[in-house]
Chain A
């Protein structure tokens, strides 16, 4: 009977799945093993619907005349989606003037004098959706609409970008934004599912793309220095997290060009496989984590080829993009025998859904 009881207990223990919580760090604190509440969901107003994927937990703000209560264990202002002022909304705001929007601003007063002619008012209608945010100084920001490039813009030296899209039908759209830094390293994309309604223009502001990250070695001799570097917004603080038995949290400041650099003393880590990731923080906001950079601490060192040649998984035709052409190549080989090694991304001998999932992750449009 005892054996039976022990067996049942062991059997039940098998059903437990270990749930690992990622630690969250802000410029001021690290929260280890947080309990995550279900986030996301959708919010709707008469003018728009925002299906959220931003933030790490639900945060909220309650205000009274005497205090503001900011709820949630990691409160940061995040992506904000607001309807853009439009002509006819009853208030004279934004870029509206008496000449561009007499409905809201009233008729323009008569101008004295006479003569002259020609000219006229050019009314530039605002884009249906405007994206505003931070990437890297003088970098290229790409906006994808339903997986295809819809716009490309350049940031200023302050890393700010602003880009609008028009000509959209009414419906739900998958927008993704990514940037390439001065060396061609790519950010992870930020994705937004938004519903476009005719007559309502949206502004998506507060986009803060994560820093880029790279390593100078793929394998490093324990005790040697590993250079971790990338680019972000100028003069912000970058938090670097190194996975180890006891995770390491390091902080550096980006220079005036947004470049950041950290020398890791690998004697702080154990032998074996590790990852490094980084996130940036301004006084008001914090970015998502960068891509994971993998390295091995061992008895010898090996340079990181990815630092020299940036490669993308899923770029089958080597045009430095992962897009519809690569999708077509993969779709051609889907479930067919003997695909070439470069198309079989997981190396299981067949192009299957796993390969498509890897490709969708690295998608650039």
Chain B
């Protein structure tokens, strides 16, 4: 019997937790004052193998905390399938990192909370799905690391303030594509950029006949964007705006520009020219006859 327990003990010692990835949280201070803004960083740790797709949910107590915003500037996730956002009381997110990420404390995004009530609370990840960069879509085993927080009446530490950002978002390219699989085969526009400091707030699109974007014609849009001008005769402008209000505009010339006789302006000028010419001719003729 003793031998049996000895074997069991040995087996337990030999069992080592094998995990490939974990989602961890970072916070400046686990004690936070009431009615204060604070930032929780969400990071990923990987072990021996790179991962390329990360998804999950972040749970928090809505009784004690209010989510003010999610920031994903400078994230290791290059393309978001679902940007971190509040959905039915929890933050959902999913995205990919082409080529894979391996390392410790890979920054995913930050959540900015405001404390509502005194008490103890936990922020934890749930339904995490992390995939290895192996071309097979193999799932990595996941370890959880929740964050414990204590909300108190008076905590001397300062409040979260957004970092100053005077840099424009990164330069980016616009691509028009068409595929029978989406949007009924209509032409659509794809674009993506990053802002390394405050993160991209939103994009605006403008399709115009003019070589310069018009001031008031911007439409808030997301990639992929179905083009209004399916004849591809317009200039396309996309404005990326970061959370600090810095803007970068990328443009794309018409894929099928109008030939000269298709432009109304040319005909207006021709007609106007003819009219002016006719009037001048009449005036000149009248003068000749009057002599």
Contacts and interface: CB of A to CB of B under 8 A. Distances in A.
Given A5-B4, A324-B190, A360 B103 contact: no
B100 A191 contact: yes
Nearest to B79: A327
Interface stretch (A73-81, A122-130, A143-151, A296-304): A143-151
B103 A356 contact: no
B94 A353 contact: yes
Which of A15, A359, A361 has the most chain B CB atoms closer than 10 A to its own CB? Answer: A361
Contact of B74 (A41, A171, A345, A363): A171
Interface in B9-57: 11-12, 14-15, 18, 47-48, 50, 52-53, 55
B179 interface: yes
A137 interface: no
Interface in B158-175: 167, 170-173, 175
B103 A193 contact: yes
A113 interface: no
Interface string B86-116: 0000000010111111111111000000000
Interface string A32-48: 00001011111000000
A333 B224 CA distance: 12
Contacts of A19: 18
A52 B167 CA distance: 27
B241 interface: no
A345 B15 CA distance: 36
A340 B181 contact: yes
Interface in A306-353: 313, 316-317, 324-325, 327-329, 331-334, 339-340, 342-343, 345-346, 353
A233 B20 CA distance: 34
- A interface, by DSSP: helix, strand, loop or mixed? mixed
B144 interface: no
B214 interface: no
B15 A16 contact: yes
B285 to A, nearest CB: 59
A182 to B, nearest CB: 23
- The interface size bin for chain B is 35 or more
A169 B104 contact: no
B200 interface: no
B99 A176 contact: yes
A107 interface: no
B179 A169 contact: no
Contacts of B78: 146-147, 174
Interface in B180-207: 181-183, 188, 190-192, 194-197
In this complex, the member of B14, B55, B181, B197 whose beta carbon has the largest number of chain A beta carbons within 10 angstroms is: B181
A41 B104 CA distance: 6
A111 interface: no
B81 A146 contact: no
B103 A40 contact: yes
Contact of B173 (A148, A359, A361): A148
Nearest to B176: A325
B135 A8 contact: no
Interface in A12-32: 12-13, 15-17, 19
A42 B48 contact: no
Contacts of A357: 52-53, 96, 131-133, 137
Contacts of B196: 169-172
B8 interface: yes
Nearest to B98: A363
Given A328-B190, A328-B223, A358 B76 contact: no
A38 B47 contact: yes
Given A148-B192, A353-B131, A357-B132, A331 B81 contact: yes
Interface in A182-197: 189, 191, 193
A353 B93 CA distance: 12
Nearest to B178: A317
Contacts of B76: 172, 174, 193
Nearest to B73: A171
A365 interface: yes
A210 B273 CA distance: 67
Contacts of A12: 8, 11-12, 15
B68 to A, nearest CB: 23
Contacts of B134: 361
Nearest to B139: A354
Among A313, A339, A353, the most chain B Cβ lie within 10 Å of the Cβ of: A353
Contacts of B132: 357
B91 to A, nearest CB: 17
A264 interface: no
Contact of B179 (A40, A316, A331, A362): A316
A363 B99 contact: yes
B46 to A, nearest CB: 8
Given A316-B179, A354-B131, A360-B53, 9 more contacts: A41-B103, A53-B50, A148-B192, A317-B179, A324-B190, A332-B182, A334-B81, A356-B81, A357-B132
8 contacts: A148-B172, A169-B197, A346-B137, A353-B94, A360-B52, A360-B97, A360-B100, A363-B99
Pairs A-B, 4 closest by C-beta atoms:
A171-B196, A363-B98, A354-B137, A357-B131
